[in-house]
Structure 1
Amino acid sequence: MKKTFTLQLSPEEAYQPEIFKTTLLKKAGLATDTTNAHARQTKRSIDARGRQVKVNVEAELFLNENPGSLLDHFPEYQDVRSSDPLIVVGAGPAGLFAALRAIELGVRPIVIERGKDVRTRRRDLAAINKEGIVNPDSNYCFGEGGAGTYSDGKLYTRSKKRGDIRRIMEILVAHGATEEILVDAHPHIGTNKLPVLVAKLRESILEAGGEILFETRVEDLILEVGEIRGVVTQQGEKIKGMGVILATGHSARDIFHLLDRRKVLIEAKPFALGVRIEHSQNLIDRIQYHCDIDRGPYLPASSYSLVQQTEFRGKQRGVFSFCMCPGGFIVPAATAPGELVVNGMSPSRRDSKFANSGMVVSVELEDLPEYQKYGPLAAMNFQADVEKKAWELGGKSQVAPAQRMVDFVNRKSSSTLLDTSYQPGLASVDMRDVLPDFISARLAMAFKAFGQKMRGYLTNDAQLIGVESRTSSPVRVPRDRETFEHPQLKRLYPCGEGAGYAGGIVSAAMDGERCAEKLIEAYAKSKRSEHSPIFRTGMV
């Protein structure tokens, strides 16, 4: 027998399994020592609006019955070794889930990834952090799993139109994520657990007969009479397939240059740019949980979400928090030498003493008149110039420019900086010298407003670390709203964050699945001879 409950519990009752079970049995009017009783939570969210933090829980109690798994979907991957191939460029969430969906539909994916597998990739991340050496093909953005592999692993998304969120979550659970991600309102996996999960996704692709080519960079397209028939790698190898899913991520500038050079329609796209704000996690907890000392042993590290409209020179623009990482670290996310970019990540326990969040300003194309000469690459070139300036002012290394928060607002240089989670180190710099006026002025306005919304947030015990510039792609690769196919180049399916159609792990994964479905629906029924009987050729 199963009973369902909707409860409002204390943190201890919600997060301590034995106490939770006892509480649920009492709610059901049963003795706390009832045997053959199984309790589990199906949904959980924190309500910190009042002075006492509560946890809203939906739960199930099973009596004399095995509760079974929370999973409704168990993925089954058929053998596709003899099937026609489909090319996926990029092994981030969009690319991996596109490949898995292709296998489910009986098509063999060939995944081409410029970076390395997750294990080998770690050496290049260590080189960035410790020596300031940036490998342009293997870094925090490029490599197996994409930028999401070494991140907080946030799985929350509002993008419900593109696919089945629950299905994506269950595939992740089937590959090693805990069932907690099916329960929490704002689930995450953690940077320490994501590499193992990504490796298991790879194993599923390979076991089914798919192919993954690491350290293989696409350098040209095989175009034939308005269609893309394949790609050419840096080794000169031609790889052909029924179509190409382009899932390269938001930082693959060489791909945007390639598309522009080959006259494939692309568009400049608004994005957002700013800094990372780093506070102590204890301060954010005290603000959010209304506690005097610390949050206690049961509540998770708290997060926040802030947004403020600002006016500068007669133009309204939003300033908003982005990719908030409670209990996390700031990391160097540059993808080429001579640039400086920062991003945030968190381990699964979120137990760092620091909290960090992107704090960014919306950038519209009309804000960049001097870059219009670059056409569809206007916003990308602006982004790159800001990153180069940050690198120069930080000392031409991965040491990041930084400034205390109140000092920035008051236009005062910071004589000292705070401890930081950013491993390469910080240099005291006036961030107004790093950021364009229309960015820095709006940040200062927003910080004052945020200090009113979250008392204690605006403090000199926090610091700006810059720059946070890879919030989303500054280029959109257009596609038809119904078919997902490029409007001019047949068999090309722009996908995920890099094409401008996703904003995180789950939305990118859903978009990858939809692109695979649309491509296969349109072209898998074609005769094999139309795809070309030879799908791989040697050097050209």
Structure 2
Amino acid sequence: MQQTITLRVQPEEAGDTQRLHPHIAGALGIKPGTVTGYTILKSSIDARGRQPMIQLSLLVYVDEPATERELVRPVYKDVHSAPQKVVVIGAGPAGLFAALQLIEKGIQPIVLERGKDVRTRRRDLAAINKQGIMNPESNYCFGEGGAGTYSDGKLYTRSNKRGDINKILNTFVRFGAEEKILYQAHPHIGTNKLPQIITAMREQILRCGGAVHFNKKVTGFITGKNSLKGVTTADGDTFTAAAVILATGHSARDIFHLLHNEGLQIEAKPFALGVRAEHPQTLIDQAQYKCPARGEWLPPASYSLVQQVGDRGVFSFCMCPGGIIAPAATGQGEIVVNGWSPSKRNNPYANSGIVVQVAEKDVHAVPAFKKAYGAAANSPLFLLYFQQWVEQLAFQAGGGRLVAPAQRMVDFCEGRHSPSLPDCSYLPGIHSAPLWEVLPPFVTTALQQGFQHFGNKIKGYYSNDAVIVATESRTSSPVRIPRDKDTLEHPQLQNLYPCGEGAGYAGGIVSAAMDGERVANIICSRLNL
């Protein structure tokens, strides 16, 4: 017999089979010895009461052999001699999952990645962190796996209507992720484990007959009769195919410029701008779990915050328990910060982006920017220019070598200079600077009020022990590449398929992966496969 039940147990009991069996038997009104096994369907933490509890949804086996969890295992075809080829630009989650889906359908993917393979890429990240030297083609955003490889591997998404979330998670497990991501309420893989998983995906693509080329920056389109025939790369190579999937991520500004210069439609898109806020992890643990210490059974606590300030929302983004603030710029003379965590989330700090929504009307009201970029006011790249302008101001305030400007939280909110700064996980270093001179006034005001409201929601959050670091500006793309709602092609150029976060159709690893699969399926349908 199999039955599904829900249990609430203490954290130390949740992972102990011997201690769980009596709870299961009690819930079913049977003897513990008749429980032969169980599968966890869902696991979440309920910290609303004085004692944090784990809520479990279980498939229980009674008086019959328990079976292992059944994983979704797609069949990847041999495409060495496939008659159809599709070029995939970008080896982030959208590009990789598009390539795997094409292989499922019998199409040969040709993946072009401007950056390096994931192992070689690590050397460039070390140079960023230790020497403040940034390679514009190989960094935290560009390279195999895309920005997601070095941003914690969060797999939570609300986009359950965009595709098959379960298939995406199962695919990650197939290539090396732990099975717990299949049932955790907020699953994540960990930056330390993602590189091996991304490598395994690439090796699968190659075994099946697909191609993956690194250091292949796309710089031109080959067109004819309103149709895309192929692409050219910076080193002079040409790749032709039946279709091209454009999955370049939200930081590939040169692609937006290429499209604009080719006369292809793009649109300015609202994005979010702000800072990274970092607290001691113990402070967040104590506030969220309502106990002096979380102990060994509870994971480092996270938070999700949102506050309406006037007509503007202030919200947390990409919260990293036990994490590190990372330098994520892709251009010289810019400061961008992001966050990541290892799988154990065992660093002493908790950080999160705290950001404010930015629309075109907001930017038009910033005199200093309008004076510098007023001639571009009607350009679809207007918000991109604004994003870049703020990042350049942050670089100047930091003083160079990717040192980031920072302040203590209360000092920032009360308009005071911070004479000293707390320790911070940002490896290139931080420099005390008035962030209201970096951030536009509407962002500064919203953040100042937002932080104070957050202090009413999480005890101890509004504190001068917290440091805020500028600037968190790559939350999403400031440009959308339009596509037909049915064919998913660019409305002006057949065979060009904008895809993923960089095109404005995703907001994280899972939603980008699902969009990659969706685009691949549309192409297969068009090619009658």
Structure 2 counterparts to residues 365-404 of structure 1, below 5 A: 365-369=360-364, 370=370, 371=373, 373-374=375-376, 375-404=379-408
Shift of 1:24: 2.4
Superposed CA offset, 1:191-218 (max 9, x none): 0111111111111111110000011100
Give the 3 Å change call, closer, same or farther, for CA 390–180 of structure 1 in structure 2: same
Give the 3 Å change call, closer, same or farther, for CA 22–39 of structure 1 in structure 2: farther
Structure 2 counterparts to residues 127-276 of structure 1, below 5 A: 127-276=127-276
Distance 1:268 1:67 in 2: 54
Give the 3 Å change call, closer, same or farther, for CA 410–488 of structure 1 in structure 2: same
SS for the counterpart of 1:103 is helix
Distance 2:18 2:117 in 1: 40
Superposed CA offset, 1:288-339 (max 9, x none): 1111x2111111111111111123xxxx211110000011100110112211
| Structure 2 match to 1:80 | 79
| Structure 1 match to 2:67 | 68
Distance 2:435 2:66 in 1: 55
Distance 2:48 2:34 in 1: 37
Shift of 1:65: 4.0
Which blocks of at least 5 consecutive residues in structure 2 are unaligned? 365-369
Structure 1: which amino acid aligns with 2:453?
Answer: A
Structure 2 counterparts to residues 49-64 of structure 1, below 5 A: 49-63=48-62
Structure 2 counterparts to residues 253-332 of structure 1, below 5 A: 253-291=253-291, 293-311=292-310, 316-332=311-327
Distance 1:69 1:117 in 2: 34
Structure 2: which amino acid aligns with 1:295?
Answer: R
How many residues in Structure 1 have an aligned counterpart in Structure 2? 519
| Structure 2 match to 1:38 | 37
Structure 1: which amino acid aligns with 2:99?
Answer: A
- Structure 2 residue aligned with 1:512, among 500, 516, 526? 516
Structure 1 residues 497-506 or 44-53, which shifts more? 44-53
Task: Indicate conservation of the 8 Å contact 1:175/1:197, yes or no.
Answer: yes
Superposed CA offset, 1:326-378 (max 9, x none): 11100110112211111000011111110000000000011122256430111
Task: Indicate conservation of the 8 Å contact 1:88/1:109, yes or no.
Answer: yes
Task: Indicate conservation of the 8 Å contact 1:342/1:468, yes or no.
Answer: yes
Task: Indicate conservation of the 8 Å contact 2:41/2:57, yes or no.
Answer: yes
Shift of 1:179: 1.0
Task: Indicate conservation of the 8 Å contact 1:24/1:39, yes or no.
Answer: no
| Structure 2 match to 1:536 | none
Shift of 1:397: 1.5
| Structure 1 match to 2:2 | 2
Distance 1:417 1:107 in 2: 55
User: TM-score scaled by structure 2?
Assistant: 0.96
Task: Indicate conservation of the 8 Å contact 2:39/2:69, yes or no.
Answer: no
SS for the counterpart of 2:412 is helix
Task: Indicate conservation of the 8 Å contact 1:16/1:298, yes or no.
Answer: no
Give the 3 Å change call, closer, same or farther, for CA 372–241 of structure 1 in structure 2: farther
Structure 2 counterparts to residues 380-529 of structure 1, below 5 A: 380-523=384-527
Superposed CA offset, 1:488-515 (max 9, x none): 1111110000000000000000000001
Structure 2: which amino acid aligns with 1:353?
Answer: P
SS for the counterpart of 2:329 is coil
Superposed CA offset, 1:365-415 (max 9, x none): 111222564301111110111111111110112111110000001111111
Distance 2:102 2:346 in 1: 38
SS for the counterpart of 1:69 is coil
Structure 2: which amino acid aligns with 1:343?
Answer: N
Distance 1:524 1:137 in 2: 37
Structure 2: which amino acid aligns with 1:182?
Answer: L
Shift of 1:31: 4.9
Distance 1:265 1:92 in 2: 24
SS for the counterpart of 2:110 is strand
Task: Indicate conservation of the 8 Å contact 2:21/2:35, yes or no.
Answer: no
Structure 2 counterparts to residues 351-366 of structure 1, below 5 A: 351-366=346-361
Shift of 1:22: 4.5
Task: Indicate conservation of the 8 Å contact 1:372/1:378, yes or no.
Answer: no
Shift of 1:152: 1.2
State the identity %. Answer: 56
Which blocks of at least 5 consecutive residues in structure 1 are unaligned? 526-540
| Structure 1 match to 2:92 | 92
Q: Would you say 1:344 and 2:339 are equivalent positions?
A: yes
Superposed CA offset, 1:151-181 (max 9, x none): 1111000012210111111111111111101
Structure 1: which amino acid aligns with 2:296?
Answer: P
Give the 3 Å change call, closer, same or farther, for CA 505–71 of structure 1 in structure 2: farther
Distance 2:250 2:65 in 1: 45
Task: Indicate conservation of the 8 Å contact 2:36/2:66, yes or no.
Answer: no
Superposed CA offset, 1:473-529 (max 9, x none): 00000011122111111111100000000000000000000011112212357xxxx
Shift of 1:44: 0.8
Shift of 1:35: 7.7
Distance 1:283 1:209 in 2: 51
Distance 2:24 2:182 in 1: 20
| Structure 1 match to 2:367 | none
Distance 1:330 1:472 in 2: 18
Structure 2: which amino acid aligns with 1:323?
Answer: C
Task: Indicate conservation of the 8 Å contact 2:116/2:214, yes or no.
Answer: yes
Structure 2: which amino acid aligns with 1:42?
Answer: L
Distance 1:479 1:204 in 2: 30
Task: Indicate conservation of the 8 Å contact 1:286/1:295, yes or no.
Answer: yes
Shift of 1:71: 3.4
Shift of 1:66: 4.2
Shift of 1:116: 0.8
Structure 2: which amino acid aligns with 1:320?
Answer: F
Distance 2:139 2:120 in 1: 11
SS for the counterpart of 2:308 is strand
User: TM-score scaled by structure 1?
Assistant: 0.94
SS for the counterpart of 1:473 is coil
Structure 1: which amino acid aligns with 2:404?
Answer: A
Aligned-pair Cα RMSD in Å: 1.4
Task: Indicate conservation of the 8 Å contact 1:272/1:471, yes or no.
Answer: yes
Give the 3 Å change call, closer, same or farther, for CA 66–100 of structure 1 in structure 2: farther
Give the 3 Å change call, closer, same or farther, for CA 420–236 of structure 1 in structure 2: same
